[in-house]
Amino acid sequence: MYGTGNPDGGTMRRFSSVPFSQVSVTGAFWSERLETVLTRTIPSQHRQLEKFNMLRSLKLPKPVPPLTIPQQTTGFSTEIFWDSDIGKWVEAAAYALSHRRDAVIEAQIESIVDDLEKAQAPDGYLNCWYLEREPENRWTNLRDNHELYNAGHLLEGAVAYFRATGRDRMLRVLDRYVDHIAAVFGRAPGLKLGYCGHPEIELALVKAYHATGAHKYLDLAAYFVDERGAQPHYFDQEALARHEPPGKFHQGTHEYSQSHRPVREQTKVVGHAVRAFYLYSAMADLAAEQGDAALRHTCEVLWQDVTRTRMYVTGGFGPSARNEGFTQDYDLPNATAYAETCASVAMVFWAARMLNLDLDGQYADLLELALYNNALAGLSRDGETYFYDNKLESDGTHRRWDWHPCPCCTMNVARLVASVGSYVFGQAADEVAVHLYGGASTRLEVAGVPVGIEERSNYPWDGDITVTVTPERAVDFTLSLRIPSWCRGARLAVNGAETSILPERGYARLRRRWQAGDRVTLHLPMPVERSYAHPDVRADTGRVALRRGPLVYCAEGQDQTHPLHRLRLPREAAPSARFRADLLGGVMVIETPALAILTDGFSTTLYRSDPPKEEGTTLTAVPYYIWCNRGPNPMQGWLRE
C-alpha cells in the first residue's frame, strides 16, 4: 500500500534533512542524552501513561468513567487531548525502535494500535474523548477542543512507527481517519470550512505525504493552511451554531490560534507559541512542496519578527502563562518566563524546515540555540523529570515535574532527542551541509556517488572539529560547514592545508573533487562571551548573560559562596571555563571574579544611607540546560552587572 519515497514535487530549490535513521550519533554529549531517552524516558513515560489512566482512555469503557483531570473553570479538561499525548509517545517510541528493535516497546505500541482499531467508528472517525463522552458533538468546537490536533499527533505516531518497522496497521487506521476528515472539511459544497484551533495536523499530513507519496495528504494540509483566518471566521460561525457569542471565549482573540487573518497576511508572531511554530513549520513545508514563494516570504517575515523582538536568550519563546504565548515586543520577563519546552521543540522543527528552504546560518543558529538550551532544559539528567515552563530566574521554588496534568512537553522533548540525528546533515543534489556538530556520521549519495561523512568533535565543550569524507570514488561536490554566528576567528584546513574562510551566509562552502579519506579540520574558538539584551527588554536592564559556544549559562545558588541575589559581575571581570568531571556527569563550568554585597551593619536596620559593603568572590555558572538537577534552588540566567 505504501511507498517509502520522499517525493519532491516542488520547484523551489532546497535541501533535505538526512533522517536520523541514516545518521549515527557518536559524540559523547548526544550519545548520553539519546541513551537516557531510549532506556529511561520512553519506558518511564509508558508507565506514567498507564498510571494516569491515559492508556485506558483508548478503551472506551462503559459506563464512562469520571474525569482524571478535573475541568478548569472554563469547563475544559486537558484530558480532551490525551490522544495526542499517546500519539506523541508512539512517535518517540517508534524513534527508539529505529535505533534498536525492542520487543517490549513494540508490544506496547501494538496494544495501542489494537485499541485504536477497536475504537475507530465505522465511518473512520477516531477521537477517543468524543467517541466516549460526547459522540453527538463531533466537529462542533474546532476552536478549543483539539480534535484535528489529536488526529495530527496520532498520524505522526503512525508514520514514525511505519518508518521504523514497516508495519502499517496504525497508518491504515489513520489513513481511514484522514479520509473521513477530508470528507468533512474542504471547499466542496456541503463540507465544513473548518481547521483546527491548534495547528499540528498540517505538518503531520505533510509527513504522511512524504511517507506514502499520496497527494491527498498534501492537499488536505494545504487546504487547512490556506483556509485559516478566512472570513467569515469559521470559529465565529461555529460559536453561533453552538448558541454562544463568538467573541466570548477564554482567550477572546483569534490571534491566540494565529487565525486572526489569512496566513499570508500575517507579519507579527502572536498568540500561543507552540501553535504558532507548528503552523509556520507546515507553512515552510508547503512552501517547499508547492514552490510557493508567498508562503516562504511570510515565513521569512515572521522569522525576522520573532528573532528580533520576541525571543529569550536561551531560545525560549512565549513569555506569558496566560496565553502560553507571545505578548508585546521586548516583553521577556525572567522569573515568570513561560518559555514552554514544547515551543522550543516546535522552533527546532520550524528552523529545520527554513534551513531546507534556504541554506542560511541564521536558521541553524537558532535551531542550535533552542535545542541545546531551552528545549534540552525540559528533560532532567535522569530522563524522568521535566520542566514545562523554563524560567530564567528562580527564587528556589521552581521545580521539575515527574508528570504534569498536561504532559505535552514530556513526549515532545523525548521525540526531539530520540531524533536529534535528523538535524545534523542536510543534502542537496551536489552538496552536503553539516549544520550541527557533536559527533555524527552518515552515508549518503551525492552527485550519484555513495559518500561517507564523519564528523568528530567534543562539541559543545570544545570547538575542534574533524570531518572525514569517504566517497566510493572521487567526486565533485560542495561540503558546507556551518560557521556559527557566535564564533569569531574560525579556522579551517583541508588535508592539513589552512584555507581561508569566506562564509556564505554562515557556511564555509568547500567545492572540490573529494577523495576517500579527505579530512577537513575546523577550529571554532569558544571563549566565554557576555551577552547583553536590547535596552528595551526591561527585565534585563543592567544585566548580563554568559555564553560559551552554543550554550547559555546560568548561576545556581548552591554553587555560590553567597546568596545568589547578592552577587554581581563587574564589567571588567574576566570569566574562564573549566571542565568539571565531578559535576553533573561532567560539564564545562564558567568561573568568574564577582562581587558579593554584604549585609554587614544591616543587622536590625532595613534601610540606611550608607551603601552596603562588597567583597570579592568567585561566581560559578553551569549550562542552563542542566540546571535544577540537584534539587530546586535559586537560579539566575541574567546576572546583575
What is the x/- site pattern for ligand FUB, positions 386-425, by CB under 6 A? Answer: --------------------x-x-----------------
Asked if residue 409 binds Zn ion (CB under 5 A), the reply is yes
In whole angstroms, how close is the CB of 387 to Zn ion at the nearest point? 10
In whole angstroms, how close is the CB of 438 to Zn ion at the nearest point? 25
What is the x/- site pattern for ligand FUB, positions 75-94, by CB under 6 A? Answer: ------x-------------
In whole angstroms, how close is the CB of 352 to ligand FUB at the nearest point? 18
Asked if residue 198 binds ligand FUB (CB under 6 A), the reply is yes
In whole angstroms, how close is the CB of 341 to ligand FUB at the nearest point? 9
In whole angstroms, how close is the CB of 305 to Zn ion at the nearest point? 22
Among 342, 357, 418, 526, which residue sits at the site for Zn ion (rule: CB under 5 A)?
A: 342
Asked if residue 201 binds ligand FUB (CB under 6 A), the reply is no
Number of residues assigned to the chain = 641
424 binds, among ligand FUB, Zn ion, none (CB under 5 to 8 A by kind): none
Q: Which is nearer to ligand FUB, 271 or 471 (CB)?
A: 271
Q: In what order do the strands lie in the sheet with 16-17?
A: 16-17, 425-428, 431-434, 475-482, 507-514
φ, ψ at 513 (rounded to 5°): -85, 115
In whole angstroms, how close is the CB of 288 to ligand FUB at the nearest point? 24
C-alpha cell at 589: 563550568
Q: Is the dihedral of CA 297, 298, 302, 305 positive or negative?
A: positive
Please count the other Cβ atoms lying within 10 Å of the Cβ belonging to residue 516.
13
198 binds, among Zn ion, ligand FUB, none (CB under 5 to 8 A by kind): ligand FUB
In angstroms, the CA 320 to CA 326 distance is: 6
Please count the other Cβ atoms lying within 10 Å of the Cβ belonging to residue 193.
15
Could you say which DSSP state residue 458 is in? -
C-alpha cell at 556: 545556581
Nearest position to ligand FUB, beta carbon: 274
The secondary structure of 150-174 as a DSSP string is: HHHHHHHHHHHHHHHH---HHHHHH
Asked if residue 347 binds ligand FUB (CB under 6 A), the reply is no
- Rounded to whole angstroms, what are the CA distances from 239 to 79, 139, 366? 22, 12, 38
In angstroms, the CA 184 to CA 55 distance is: 28
Q: Enumerate the active-site residues.
A: 324, 408
In whole angstroms, how close is the CB of 172 to ligand FUB at the nearest point? 26
Asked if residue 176 binds ligand FUB (CB under 6 A), the reply is no
Asked if residue 280 binds ligand FUB (CB under 6 A), the reply is no
Among 324, 384, 389, 518, which residue sits at the site for ligand FUB (rule: CB under 6 A)?
A: 324
In angstroms, the CA 530 to CA 295 distance is: 36
Among 116, 154, 376, 408, which residue sits at the site for Zn ion (rule: CB under 5 A)?
A: 408
- Rounded to whole angstroms, what are the CA distances from 562 to 226, 545, 614, 624, 641? 56, 19, 11, 20, 16
Would residue 520 be called left, alpha or beta, if left means φ above 0 and alpha means ψ between -120 and 50 degrees?
beta
Q: Which is nearer to ligand FUB, 97 or 155 (CB)?
A: 155
Nearest position to Zn ion, beta carbon: 342
C-alpha cell at 429: 543534489
Q: Which is nearer to Zn ion, 196 or 409 (CB)?
A: 409
255 binds, among ligand FUB, Zn ion, none (CB under 5 to 8 A by kind): none
81 binds, among ligand FUB, Zn ion, none (CB under 5 to 8 A by kind): ligand FUB
- Contact (CB, 8 A) for 596 and 614: yes
Question: Where does this chain bind Zn ion (CB under 5 A)?
Answer: 340, 342, 408-409
Question: Where does this chain bind ligand FUB (CB under 6 A)?
Answer: 81, 198, 274, 324, 340, 342, 406, 408
